[in-house]
């Protein structure tokens, strides 16, 4: 099949590469000349395991190419996928400017039937606006060209997106035309051979499903962080509580890991946008408000623990930070808890030595050059001259470090574990003062 994707960001690149991998011919259209040039050379501007190789392989086979030419893209594909960004507007609602611009662009150039598909995460009712933009532009041209609009939201986890696309747990299709249902079924048939994963529904329900899914997962995270904060004050261990409730199949173990809050490009933006959508129709969503408030507070927890340990004064101290990306296996630092922590430490006059396995270039872009930040080439180098260690991202390489080496490198053997990677009793035996999230009172060291 011939497919055109507008937008070569995270969703567009993963979608294009995976569809090409299945044997389709894909053209990705973008407005950024530098990005198109990079991608055409096989240079991928984001970190996603397996994506570089998949893009290079399908470019070499002639199934995937990148262009600035919108007219070429519209002419190419029966399927026209919109995968551009929907950044938060000033009030937190999703900005649909780029989505609607693409819809108008498609209508300006189309000469035959197209299936226009929204892959971008958009508020309920966006498909109506996309259809109106198509109709208005076609009318201005004096053209009568048939089209259908479909909602096909993505459910890709950063760090596991290739597997999510190639082996989906569900494919949501929102359509009002049986013909497009069959076309979409044919498009996704290579990914559903073992089991039919397609769930077909009306367009508005499909649009809301994406927001509801992300809001539900964010709710689980914020709820568990609330339990962690309560456990800490009651002298309980939230990790034991997590095992106890996760064993209930109605709850499960996914997304109930306490920590320093969620980040990234999806959960913060989508919870805000859904909350604003609720207000727009006169409904006050108390749960969504609480999820957002708890997450904002949780991002400050590690800083508060550091400040309390050092008696409220950390000016002149150096904190080693392991992990800058909002989660492992990505370089994405959008809304990352690390950004809140570093800004708070700097505001108190502290210095930071930081390391992340893949997000160092992104950190340089985000923070720029500053005298109170040293970006280190290894986790060991980040410890040099530091007064304490703070762990913000649960990268695999942080899970079993050389604890003797850590203790020897730090001016004071204290660890602030924002992801509960370590066992408090083990830390005590190694001579550390250890602060986790929701692990009860501070674990005393043998020296105590």
Alpha carbons within 13 A on the beta-carbon side of 19: 26
C-alpha 31/C-alpha 8 separation (Å) is 9
What pLDDT score does 89 carry? 77
Confirm if 392 and 355 have CB atoms less than 8 A apart: no
Give residues with Cβ within 8 angstroms of 92, minimum separation 6.
Answer: 272, 273, 275, 276
What is the pTM for the complete model shown?
Answer: 0.91
Residue corresponding to tokens 């505001």: 347
What pLDDT score does 446 carry? 52
For each of the chain's 448 residues, which pLDDT tens digit applies? 999 999 999 999 999 999 999 999 999 999 999 999 999 998 999 999 999 999 999 999 999 999 999 999 999 999 999 999 988 877 778 889 999 999 999 999 999 999 999 999 999 999 999 999 999 999 999 999 999 999 999 999 999 999 999 999 999 999 999 999 999 999 999 999 877 899 999 999 999 999 999 999 999 999 999 999 999 999 999 999 999 999 999 999 999 999 999 999 899 999 999 999 999 999 999 999 999 999 999 999 999 999 999 999 999 999 999 999 999 999 999 999 999 999 999 999 999 999 999 999 999 999 999 999 999 999 999 999 999 999 999 999 999 999 999 999 999 999 999 999 999 999 999 999 999 999 976 544 555 5
Instruction: With H, G, I as helix, E, B as strand and everything else as coil, classify residue 414.
Output: strand
As annotated, the active-site residues are 266
Tokens of 275: 């909350």
Residue 83: count of CB within 10 angstroms of its CB: 26
Give residues with Cβ within 8 angstroms of 108, minimum separation 6.
Answer: 70, 74, 137, 141
What pLDDT score does 447 carry? 54
Going by the DSSP 8-state scheme, the letter that residue 253 receives in this structure is S
Q: Which residue, 187, 193, 204, is CA-closest to 153? A: 204
C-alpha 192/C-alpha 415 separation (Å) is 46
C-alpha 133/C-alpha 180 separation (Å) is 19
What pLDDT score does 294 carry? 97
What pLDDT score does 195 carry? 77
C-alpha 426/C-alpha 443 separation (Å) is 10
Q: Which residue, 352, 349, 348, 441, is CA-closest to 392? A: 352
C-alpha 384/C-alpha 381 separation (Å) is 6
């Amino acid at each position: 099949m011939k497919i055109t994707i507008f937008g070569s960001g995270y969703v567009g690149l993963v979608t294009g590469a995976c569809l090409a991998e299945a044997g389709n011919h894909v053209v990705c259209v973008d407005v950024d000349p530098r990005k198109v040039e990079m991608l055409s050379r096989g240079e991928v501007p984001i970190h996603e395991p397996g994506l570089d190789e998949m893009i290079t392989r399908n470019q070499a086979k002639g199934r995937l190419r990148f262009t600035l030419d919108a007219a070429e893209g519209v002419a190419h594909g029966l399927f026209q996928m919109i995968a551009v960004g929907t950044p938060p507007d000033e009030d937190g609602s999703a900005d649909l400017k780029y989505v609607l611009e693409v819809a108008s662009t498609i209508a300006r150039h189309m000469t035959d039937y197209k299936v226009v598909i929204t892959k971008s995460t958009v508020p309920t009712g966006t498909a109506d606006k996309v259809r109106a933009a198509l109709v208005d532009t076609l009318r201005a041209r004096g053209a009568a060209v048939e089209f259908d609009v479909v909602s096909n939201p993505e459910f890709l986890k950063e760090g596991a997106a290739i597997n999510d696309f190639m082996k989906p747990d569900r494919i949501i299709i929102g359509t009002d035309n049986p013909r497009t249902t069959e076309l979409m079924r044919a498009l996704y048939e290579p990914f559903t051979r073992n089991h039919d994963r397609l769930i077909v529904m009306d367009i508005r329900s499909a649009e809301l499903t994406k927001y509801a899914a992300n809001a539900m997962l964010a709710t689980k995270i914020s709820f568990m962080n609330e339990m962690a904060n309560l456990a800490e004050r009651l002298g309980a261990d939230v990790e034991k509580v997590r095992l106890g409730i996760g064993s209930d199949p109605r709850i499960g173990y996914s997304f109930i890991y306490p920590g320093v809050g969620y980040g990234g490009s999806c959960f913060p933006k989508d919870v805000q946008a859904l909350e604003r959508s609720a207000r727009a129709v006169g409904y006050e969503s108390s749960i969504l408000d609480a999820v957002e408030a708890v997450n904002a507070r949780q991002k400050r927890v590690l800083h508060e623990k550091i400040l309390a340990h050092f008696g409220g004064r950390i000016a002149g101290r150096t904190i080693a930070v392991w992990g800058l990306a909002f989660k492992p296996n990505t370089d994405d630092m959008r809304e990352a808890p690390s950004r809140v922590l570093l800004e708070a430490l700097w505001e108190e006059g502290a210095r930071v030595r930081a390391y992340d396995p893949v997000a160092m270039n992104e950190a340089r872009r985000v923070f720029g050059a500053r005298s109170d930040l040293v970006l280190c080439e290894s986790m060991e180098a980040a410890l040099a001259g530091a007064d304490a260690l703070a762990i913000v991202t649960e990268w695999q390489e942080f899970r079993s470090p050389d604890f003797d080496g850590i203790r020897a490198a730090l001016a004071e053997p204290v660890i602030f574990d924002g992801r509960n990677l370590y066992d408090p009793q083990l830390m005590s035996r190694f001579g550390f003062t250890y602060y986790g999230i929701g692990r009860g009172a501070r674990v005393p060291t043998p020296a105590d």
